[in-house]
Structure 1
Amino acid sequence: MQQRLDKNPDLLHQHWWRGTLTYILALVIIALLALLSHYLVQSIVDQQESTARVVNIAGRQRMLSQRITLFASELRQTRTEELHGAELASYYDAISTMSTMHYALMNGASSLNIPTPSSNAIKAMFNQPPTNLHQKVTEFLVLAERVVDASLDMSQRNEAYKQLRQAARAEMLQSLDAVVLQFQRESEAAISQLQRYNRLSLGGMLLTLLIEALFIFRPLLLSLYRREQEYHALLADMDEEIAEQIQFQTFNDPLTHLPNRLSILEKIQSYIELAQHNHSQVIVIYIGVDRFKDINDSLGHDQGDLFLVDLGERLANVAESNRGTVARMASDEFAIVLEQDDEKLELVQLMHQLSKSISQPYEHNERVLQVTASLGLAVYANDGEDANTLVMHANHAMRIAKEDGGSCFRFFQPAMTIKMTRRIQLEHELRQALNAEGQLMLFYQPKVSLKTGEIIGVEALIRWRHPEEGMLSPAEFIPIAEDSGLIVELGDWVLVQAMWQLREWQKQDIYLEMAINVSVKQLMRRNISDRLLALAEQMDIEPRYVQIEITESNIMDNMSQIMGQLVDIEKNGFVLAIDDFGTGHSSLARLRDLPFKVLKIDRSFVMNAVTDAKDQQLVAAIVDIGHSLNKTVIAEGVETTEQQKLLQSLGCEEGQGYLYAKPNSAKQLASMLQQRKIALEPR
């Protein structure tokens, strides 16, 4: 089978190179023939022009011979003493001109553009009998001078005139005519030769064109035809391949090559139809990787993709061992569908098996990665009667597992749908509240010195007055803002409002610290240090009055990404505080290097410190750690005098809680802030 040119670049290059050389050779041959034809035509034209000049000169010779003969007839009657003057000068001038033209005809003359005769026949006619033109012209010119020779008598001069006239009428003119005739014959022969050559040249060009057509254009046309056929075949192959790719991409994930959401929905529906006849169950397990974004942010999307491929293979092995199918539903989310009659206990074992398989270490490029996942399970027909409902409910269960801390599984419950629906509704309404007037507001809770009772500062706490449900707890809408990304916009709103209120208090000569909670997403998505500095300059506030609070767990989980921002915030003069200290997993070495000046003891420890010896020891340890690192320690959730006295005895500097004041609006706190001090119970 002929090798396809489009599949072999070297063969295609050789084919076109050979065709190009042949085409160039044909063009060269045609050009040479054209140049040669032009040269020959030009030489013949030049020869014709020369012959015309020769004929012209020969005609002038005839005229000069007649003129000389006429002058000689007049001058021979002149007496010897009268042979002078203008007539004689003209006579000699005619003789000289005839002599010059004769030598031009015989030897050529560049001044007259007469070439030297190249023909041997013409050369012989000048010097050899019977023509012997040179001898006859010479004798004629001698006789012409003899006619006017003053040394001769009249009879001798008459005799010379007779000979002159005889030479002019017969011998010389006949020889001159013979030479001209020979020139014309040779010119006609050259024209005939040119005509023959032109016919040969035309034949050569036609032959060259024929060869070119047979050996260049015909193969080229055949090649183009073959390439057209190959192109159509290639298009057909491409159409088939594209159709296969479209079919594959329609029902499969391009990264993991697993079935996609559309494919698994069709699979679930087919399982449901079988289950209706077999009275069996259809089980949908929805899997979401915990904190997958951290993998992409820390290791890069390439490593994240490799992890997803490996995870897909692991899930596929588990699914196949249970006669099921796995699909990739979204970025870090997968689903497994099973058609069987397993009891709940066996499903629990399957969920444990999946969790164990997912949590096994992953190795790529000498990197070891270990992750966990949240799993949600829905069963036909208890949790849904169609594919979309089953997937949605399994997804709801997975979301609840994530909210419960991840690395766990949950079975779908009807209450989950109500909860997820409310989350979606609250997210939508929170977006509207950000642009509405009066729904979002800040409350402020004072921070008190446990030594003097002086109000040192306040913490800004956001509140949402829902138009239908009234005041909503931040514990309900802040997680929604975190998950949806609204926390960045919401946090910026808090910054602006809190610093504006601080400026208003300073205008009333109330100088205190404003503590503002900042989400880690604000630190990771924006250059918040520049934003804080710009707001402080705009509000004319010294940065030392602004305290930025970040929870311990967020700091430790995102240390590498946010450390630069923390350093910049501290360099700009703002105070950094670790919120909810004790609930995270910070080490003393890492705590020592952080640019924080304040530790806030979480309320969960303070609440039971009076009655629980372990919590009391933890609070004492936190206070000691803070003092050893030269940090100010604040206790949250102080609600009783006993708690206050315990904290005072442990050396805690500041307290915050309902014992001193509940969070209130700036207007409601106005009188307390004006007093600037709270009376403390004695120890």
Structure 2
Amino acid sequence: MAAIFTKYNRPGCIQGAMLTSIVYLLLGGLLAIFVHITLEKVIQAQANVAQDANISGQQRMLLQRASLFATAYLYSEDIAAKQTSLQALGTMQANHQLLLEPHYSALKNGLASPLSPELQALYFTSDNNVSDQLNAFGEQIYYALSLQVKQGDTKLDAKALMEMAYTPLLSSLNAVVSEYESQNSIRMTTLRLVQLVVFWLIVAIMFIGLIVILLNARKQRQNMTISSILNLDQEHASPMFTRKAFELSARKLIATARRHNETISVLAFDIDRFARILTHHGHEAAEDVLSRVADGLLAMSRESDYLGRVADEKFVLLLPKTSAEQALNLANKIRTFFNDEKTQEGAKGVPISVSIGITELEKEDSMLQHIISRAENALVGKESQGNARVCMA
């Protein structure tokens, strides 16, 4: 009777789950950093534009305040009115410098102006030229407030001062405020769009993560089921080899085969549609299939052969002193055995078939795993040949 070895997958499952968790933690961390940086930039830009819009709105109020109290001073010569007008004018000039400072700083450093072309046109072109109009208005106010209150002094026409405050300077300032508010609205739209993109990005990552978790959980359940099934009862009669013990035995067999110029062949078995069987027919049917495959392989093996499971539903049969041609004959017998109606009768309505990859010991082979991998690779890419296929490496 063939000896049996098993490969337990629990550590691999744990490592896989840990790796998946680490990957999603990293993705979550990178996403959090991206969201933080992006929103910080958008919010800062939004705050700057909102501040500029607020300051430009103050300019209209300060213009009217400066002209109103300057006019009051011309009529009443009230010192408090003069001080109030000068204070409003000073604040107005300071605000103007604050609004244009980024523009002049960028030009000084050879960079593009942060002001939009529309705002630059309002501030500097001949059609509006808010900067020149503000300078002219300031000079008029200072001139009016510096007149000496003496007999015969010529006073500035208060009506002209009031008209200057309202036309065309006020209209130009209104245009500036409207432009800042328009940019503020665009920034708000951009911020909402970024928030929407980030929201759906997070939803997508969570959805993908949920799918991966479910797939991992399903895979782990399959592995646990298969591992428990393959801990066969002692009635199968032969010593249970651990993977390490099997590797040591195989190493000795390979060394012996090389010493006596003998050959070794390997059959790699893959239960066809096993994942579908487990999903659609349940654990009980999968247990029955695995048990019957193990029983069938044991029944078809010789005393000198070594049977084991390398992963999930994959089995391997090590055949000492067996050529590839002899292994091919055995593989066809095993395939026929599982296709036999009597074998199918006890499969609880689930058809059983196995695909078999065949290889032989080669000169460069130093480890069993090299031979097993070659036998398994013989099956790769041959799915188009259907189930119950036998492929020579």
Q: TM-score, normalised by structure 2?
A: 0.47
Q: TM-score, normalised by structure 1?
A: 0.29
Larger Rg: 1
**Larger strand percent:** 1
**Larger helix percent:** 2
Higher relative contact order (CA 8 A, sep 6+): 2
